Each structure stands twice: as C-alpha cells, then as structure tokens.
Structure 1
C-alpha cells in the first residue's frame, strides 16, 4: 500500500497531465480545423430592401470575418425559379465572359471588385423594374453552403391626382386618382384636421402588374375647405398625398342650387307654355271671328233675300194697278 503523501502527489500529477492533454487537444483541434467558421453580416435571415422604380439598388452580402472572397465562388439567384442574377468564380463572372446569366439581368448587374478582399460579395442592380421584385439569395457553395436571403420590393409610387368632379344637392364631389402604382396602395380622404372622410367604394383595376385606383367622396360645408387624398403603400413603408382647396362659394351654390334649379325650371316651363297659351288663345279668337263673320253673312243674305222677295211681290201687286190706270187714262183721252 502506498503512503498517503505519495497518493496525493500522484493524483495531482495525473490531474495536471489530464489538463495538459485537454488544453492541447482543444488548441490543436482549433488550429487544424480545415475550414474557418464564417458568418454572414448582417445575421442570416430575411432582409427587406425597398426602392423606387428606376433607381439603383445594392443587395448586401458580406462575411463578418472580412475573409477575402477573391478566390471563392458566390452565386446570386432570384425566386424559386433560381434565376441566375450574378455569379463570381475565382475571377470569372458574368460581366467578363462567364455564360449563364438570366436575360432579365444581363447588362444591369455588377459587383465590387475592390471589395472582394474584404469579404464583400454585394451586387448592384441598376435601373430597377417592378419585375425585379422578389426573393434573392447570396450563396457560397464552397463555404459550408452559407446562404443569405433577402427580399427586394421595387415600387411605383405616383402622386395622386385630385379634382372636383361635380357639385350636387348633397355637396361637392371630389375624385382622387392613382395610375400605375405598385404594390397595391390604399387611398383615403382626409380633412385638414386629419379626420378620415366617408368615401364611396374604390374602383380598382390592374394592368401589367400595376394598379389603377379611383376614390370619390362628397364633402359639405365644414370648418375647413381643404381636403387631402392620402396614398399609402405599406409594403414600401411609403406614403404620399395631394391636397385640394374647395371654394366656399361652391358650398353656397350647393345650398342654393335647389332654388336656382327651380327658378330655371320655372322659366323654362314659362318660356314654353306662355307662347303656346297665346297661340291657342289667338287661334280660338280667329275661329270665333270667322264664325261671327259667317253668321253676319248669312244674316245679310237672309235679309237681302227677304227684301228681294218683298220687292218682287210689291212689283207684282203694283203692275195690275198700273195697267188699270193706263187704261183709264186712255179712255179719258178718247
């Protein structure tokens, strides 16, 4: 049996050897690891990048270790179709003869050659289009298959056009139009105090992936004559608006429009009915005059007939008398 002091010294020595072996093993395993442990910066995840149509955009992809990627391979792809946006393979890439780039991106995508040595594999897309919107991946096949995902939204954000559509008995009708917007926007009418106004159901149509929207509202006389059409695109975190000022006179005209319309209608009816009434009255008078003239003629004719008849009878009566008188005168003479 070993002395007690010797046993303690042996245990300490064995513990020291174990610690040395463990530390050496850890150091050696770290020193002789075949591939360095890379991380993407920013952290792996889905980043959303928003940009207006027609502008340029940079899609970021960098190794946090700043390890050079000059002698590496990285590939950019879009959507589930895996459209090849850009490829770099140890100095060869799509802009110096490497084949395979999708037609949609040909001549529009470039990388940053002077940044490769710092682990920067970002790309630039120029003159963005709405069709460029989608999901993109930055992939390092030879570095443990590291992949960075991001979403690009290319938006069309036209300013709304606001006009006075009509003035009715209910108030002043305002119209707000947005042409060719993407993503699909939401439209609202507000007064100058920021209160949301009631509006009709929006008219929405889609052509070639762009939205055309019209929203109408009717406003009445209030404490304000200034109204605003607000267009919001949540996917772009974008909002724009146009303001229109309605003259107070239009609200006054709206209130008096019924009276004015009644007056105008009355004048129109009078203009039609009065001449017609006069015409009918004159026509009736002419007919009566004709009838009276005909009556007078008939009466005159009757009187003349009676007078002629009486003259004839008198003449017939007088003729015998004249004959007798002539005979008497002749006898007396003889």
Structure 2
C-alpha cells in the first residue's frame, strides 16, 4: 500500500490527548447531526463494510486523520497511517485506507446497531480542519429460522403431544398454536435469552386428541415479521382384532369340514357299491362252476 499500518493496538496512555480528541469528535457529532445517514442492513454474525465515501491518494493518507465512531463511542482511528482499534471492536474490526477509506466489522452483534460517523481531518496552517463527514446507519437483523415440530409421544391414552421450537432471533418472540384460525391453549411455553448474544429461544408444547384429524399451525411473531410451520395429524385406520377374524375362521373351518364329510361319504358309498358288485359277480361265477360240475357228474 506504500504506508505502514498497525492492527489492533490500543490507544496510547495519553488521557489529555484522547480527551481532546473525544471533545473534538463530540463537537463534530453535534455539527453533523443534521446529515441524513445512509442505511445498511445486515444479519447477526455477518460482516459489513462501511465506507467513508472519500477518495484520496496514498501520499495524502500519511497526513490525514480518520476517525470512526458509533453514536457517542469510538470505534477506530487512523493517525499518520497507524490504526488504533477500541477494545469493544478489537480483533473483529479492520480498515482499508486505500483510495476510499472504509472499515470492515466481522461477526456482527445486535449491539453493533447504530449510526456510524466517519470524520476525515486534513492539516492546514499548523492545525487540522474537518475535510469530510459521512454517516451510515447500521441495522442488525436476527431472523428466526422456520420452527421445527417434533412428536413427544402419548402422555395419556388417546392424547398426543408435540413441541414447536425455534432459536437465534431477535426481538422478543411470541409463539401461538392455531387450528382453523383459532388460537389453542398450549401445554408448556418456554422463552430464554442468551446474555451474550441477546438472541432468543422459544418452544411450546401442545396436546391434542388422536381420535380425529387435525391441522395445526405453529406461528412465531417477532417485531413485524413471522415464521411458521404446519403439523398434520390423520387418525390411523383401526387394525382388525382376533375376535373380528373369528366368524370368518369358523365359517371357513365348518365349510371345509362339511366338504370333507361329503367327500368321505361319497367315497365310502362308491367303495361299498363296487364291493357289493364284486361279491355278486363272485357268487355268480361260483354258482356257474357248481352247475357245470353237477352236469358233468
């Protein structure tokens, strides 16, 4: 870049110097309070680039003073090419002062929301005067993901329990269960907030009767936004019991036995008839033999 930069260094221990600079910035903040800032919207954990909208050269940078502040607190300063980052933004804020000075804030938090002011001072006759002012309003969004609905089983006979949950959003959410446009009574609703990220987690349980069909809507509202998930329940078809199969079993069994008896009787009758015919034929043959023997004698 043609200039040296020092990253992440803390301000030097010169209270009077930094006090004077803060007083100057406070005055500048008041001076530029009438400027309408640009708006940038980002989500939590994303990165944002805030530009000073000031074109400069590498040679000029060595003589400029560049200050970044959010509302009334300091963020970053570039003095004679050296970068100084304040503790709240340390290790996640970098700057690029090539041509158009800007800062990059990584891993955005909800607390990063606010109006950022870039002040560029230029040396003139032994002092510094304000050369350029820029304001950027940064808005951080934390959208809730689509809720998930899980089955918790049967706490009571013919009663089913489900739970709807979502996390990682802001502002404070409200969860409701709806069926046919009417709000239902939830069994247990819990809401918690992470003290570090300020993001919310919400969950709610619902009990319903399993003997009829249902279509539930889990609706989560946060600010002017909503996310939702639908849960469908269809009554399972009853499975035939052993007693329901009994009449058919008896009918089939009786029919089979009847057919077997008929077949057995038929076979027996035919067998007896054939046996009788065979005995009669046998007797006739014996009589004929006796008659022939008598005649010959």
TM, length-normalised to structure 2: 0.48
**Larger fraction in strand:** 2
**Larger fraction in helix:** 1
